[in-house]
Chain A
Amino acid sequence: MKRVAKAAFFPLVAALLIAAGYGWGRHSFRLFFGGAKTYGTITALLKYYDAQAVLIVAIDQEVVCTRASGMQVQGRMHNGRLTAVTVISNGQATAVRLADTPAHALQSAATELCTTDANGVKRFLMRQSAPSSTDRMQTIVRTETVQVIPGVQGTLRAISASNDIVLALATDAGTFTRASAYPMVTTMTFTLQTNATRYVRTQNGTALPPPSFRDFFLFERDYRYSFRPLFSFAVSGAWYTVLADVGRRMTPPGAYPPFAPVCLAYDPRNPQDALLTPDFAAFKTMTFLQRFNATTEAVFIRWLYPFLFFSIGSVMALVALLLASLVLAPGVRHPGHSATASPP
């Protein structure tokens, strides 16, 4: 009995693990290799804290950079898209035409400032101030306004969305609509002279006491929070909104930026059956190191668990084979072999 158990253990473990890997990855492999592919947009984010969640449905950002000469550059973004850049100099406000090529660098700078965290702002500021120019940047004030549907609880059952705007969602605990959304406004002020960052936050117009100094969404640094994207896409003129099966704790740069385009695979017969997939085409423009990181990250966000089960299962299968071979063909070096037997 003991011998049988020992002989069967490793083959059984290998078979179980490989089967588990197949079971875990079957659906995603089927959609990725056999389904249709398209691009969609992240339309909202569920921010979790334990079982509690709030739904982030809109983000507005405004950034004002003041230079030593008094000149100001103001940038505005709505749902991840730059909507306006204004330069104020000698009391004259000049709107930058966003479609113009010469303003591209300014656009990029405004976008970077709007979507970066306090450390990023400092880095940006250092880069901009590096030349020994007399007109150094002095302050950056960034305001983030997040529209939040509060207190989302329970397992998600359905989502109502029009174009790329979430209107309501239903869970087994009830229905939560956009009508109940409130604004969460965070203002960050960075002063170069003192190298200090100051945060002020209001919720629905009421100032929140510390420790509410952190951003509500952008670069949340509290490990207890996690974010899960909702993405929308169109198939034959019909819009579908799906809650992703992957998410991430905190929001490090680049992970599920709100309102960003995403690559996805879906079942053409049932487009509601869709999942986020790696966007390999987007990685082609990157440098080698960036591409390696992005590809590894994208592949293993999607298929980490099937990979783990398959790889461990394969090694166990190898061990089972080696053990079986030792019984079936011990070889001349085997201690039991008459030519090599050694005393205990």
Chain B
Amino acid sequence: MIETQHKQVPWRWVVLITLPSFATTLAEGMSSSFLTFTLRKFFDNPATIAFISSLNVFFNVAVGVVVMYVSDHVWFRSGRRKPFVITAWILMIACSIVVPLVRNVYVLVPLVVVWLALADMSMPFGILQQEVIPPQQRGRASGIAQFIGYAYLLFVYTIMLGRFDDQEFQPWFVITGDRAAFWTSALILAITTVFVAFYVRERKPVQALTSQKISFTNFFKSVFSDKTLWPIYLLSFSRTFLAIGLGTMGTLLFTEQWGYTKQEMGTNIAIGGLINIPLTLVVGYFADKFDRIKLYTYSICGNLLMTIAYYCFVQFFLPDHRPLLWQIILFGEIGALIGLLSSTVAGPMAYDYIPRDKMGTVAAGSGIIGSLTRLLMLNGVSLWVTFYSKRFCPPGQLDYFSGYLMMIAMGMVGVGISLLFVVMVRRGVIKPYGRMNIGTTEQAPAP
């Protein structure tokens, strides 16, 4: 029996408790590309597909944050995380089985909404994993989790996604690729549920928050009332603007507008993801070597210029407005490299300006702001694509690539806000609180 709250655990426990990450990532993955294609069967309007898919982001805050907060303050007979996780997973299994069978949109939409909410209800599983793995073993556990992430990438994008439309005719039944994907996810999640329910035991912590009253008013007050944190929230707001992509429109751009198969699309994503592995290490090295503020400024500007260059290349240079696979990978990787640089630098840089006792509060606040901004922006992109296509394309035709114009506009806003933050830092309006109280005699270094 694997248990929580031990100072040291066998490495086999670490492997066993990390393996379910594959099931949870797979279940979440079903709500991206697979869900887009499932919804595409019923909806022609990209804005509708984007809206339903983006509810995932809304539930991150409305369900995920709440459930994680509540799970800190309760205790049931089987633990504080497991009841939420097991309940969510059982219902998710039922949804995964039913979703590919549904032929009625009025059944599908509520089912998908419930499913997305349940996916976030199972978020305390991440904390449960960390409660099993002691701090000194978390580094290598993270390595195992990364390995599982790559296995997921290969499995879903190179194998499963391309099979979405396939059918296999057996003497007594027909199975389609989408059903296979959803049911595989359900099968793996079912086995994982049994494992967590019967092989993992939560031990009641000595210092528990169970006696404390659950107060969301206090939670929101502590997160948003401190004015010294507002610039940080502004920064996370701008980072969301810079990181926004096409979302579901990207999937449809690839398959419907550019005419690539799902297999080609999946391989492209997987190759991009795998190339990012060594890039992450290189970028991490550089992030520590140079001035973070400078590196961040250059990288966000570079990111925006890269998006503009890609748009111009496809729209004005390519005669058929359709990049080849290697061109997509090349531009994608250069963009990913710059994006990785800015995201790697942005985290530590932001923490330089957060008082040390407020880091958890800022993480919660940034999460809420980032999720809500992302929700609005993703829907904004899809509405823009719909508007642009109606205005400039022949009837019935959608130009998903026009979403890049919206991305460029949002990128400009993001760069503007980020540069404002940098200027405020340079002028000393924003102080490096995170560095100030390292030691009592130490001066805060220049940013």
Chain A residues with CB under 8 Å of chain B are: 6, 9, 13, 117, 119-120, 122-124, 126-127, 129-130, 194-197, 223-224, 226, 228, 243-250, 252-255, 289, 292-293, 296-297, 300-301, 304-305, 307-308, 312, 315-316, 319, 322-323, 325-326, 330-331, 333-335, 340, 342, 344
Contacts and interface: CB of A to CB of B under 8 A. Distances in A.
A323 B199 contact: yes
A247 B167 contact: yes
Interface stretch (B4-12, B214-222, B301-309): B4-12
Nearest to A243: B169
A9 B234 CA distance: 51
Most buried by A among B3, B10, B203: B10
A342 B12 contact: no
Contacts of B19: 315, 319
A293 B8 contact: no
Contact of B195 (A226, A247, A319, A342): A319
A161 to B, nearest CB: 19
A340 B8 contact: yes
Contacts of B40: 223
Given A246-B169, A333-B9, A322 B319 contact: no
Interface residues of B, number: 55
Contacts of B198: 6, 9
A248 B166 contact: yes
A296 B263 contact: yes
Contacts, number: 138
B379 to A, nearest CB: 24
Interface stretch (B46-54, B155-163, B223-231, B367-375): B155-163
B12 A325 contact: yes
Interface string B297-322: 00000000000000000000001111
Contacts of B158: 296
B264 interface: yes
B167 A120 contact: no
B390 interface: no
Contacts of B321: 126
B167 A226 contact: yes
B199 A123 contact: no
B16 A334 contact: no
Contacts of A249: 165-167, 176-177
B259 interface: yes
A331 B10 contact: yes
Contact of B180 (A124, A228, A304, A323): A304
Contact of A305 (B6, B175, B194, B322): B175
B289 interface: no
B78 interface: no
Contact of B191 (A197, A244, A316): A316
Contact of B204 (A194, A246, A308, A344): A344
A258 to B, nearest CB: 17
A293 B257 CA distance: 19
A120 B326 contact: no
B163 A254 contact: no
A61 B159 CA distance: 34
Contact of A246 (B6, B167, B195): B167
Contacts of A300: 159, 162-163
A223 B165 CA distance: 9
A344 B204 CA distance: 7
A312 B261 contact: no
Nearest to B134: A342
A6 B199 contact: yes
B31 interface: no
Nearest to B11: A333
The residue among A120, A305, A335 with the most chain B CB atoms within 10 A of its own CB is: A335
B176 A9 contact: no
Contacts of A123: 259, 320, 322
B439 interface: no
Contact of A296 (B41, B159, B188): B159
Contact of A247 (B9, B13, B169, B397): B169
Nearest to B392: A195
Interface in B162-195: 162-163, 165-170, 175-177, 180, 184, 187-188, 191, 194-195
B203 A333 contact: no
Which 7 residue pairs spanning A and B have beta carbons closest together? A130-B319, A123-B320, A249-B165, A126-B320, A223-B41, A247-B167, A333-B10
B325 interface: yes
B429 interface: no
A340 B7 CA distance: 8
A93 B398 CA distance: 39
Given A247-B167, A296-B158, A304-B159, 11 more contacts: A129-B319, A246-B168, A249-B166, A292-B267, A296-B162, A296-B267, A300-B163, A304-B163, A304-B180, A330-B10, A340-B7
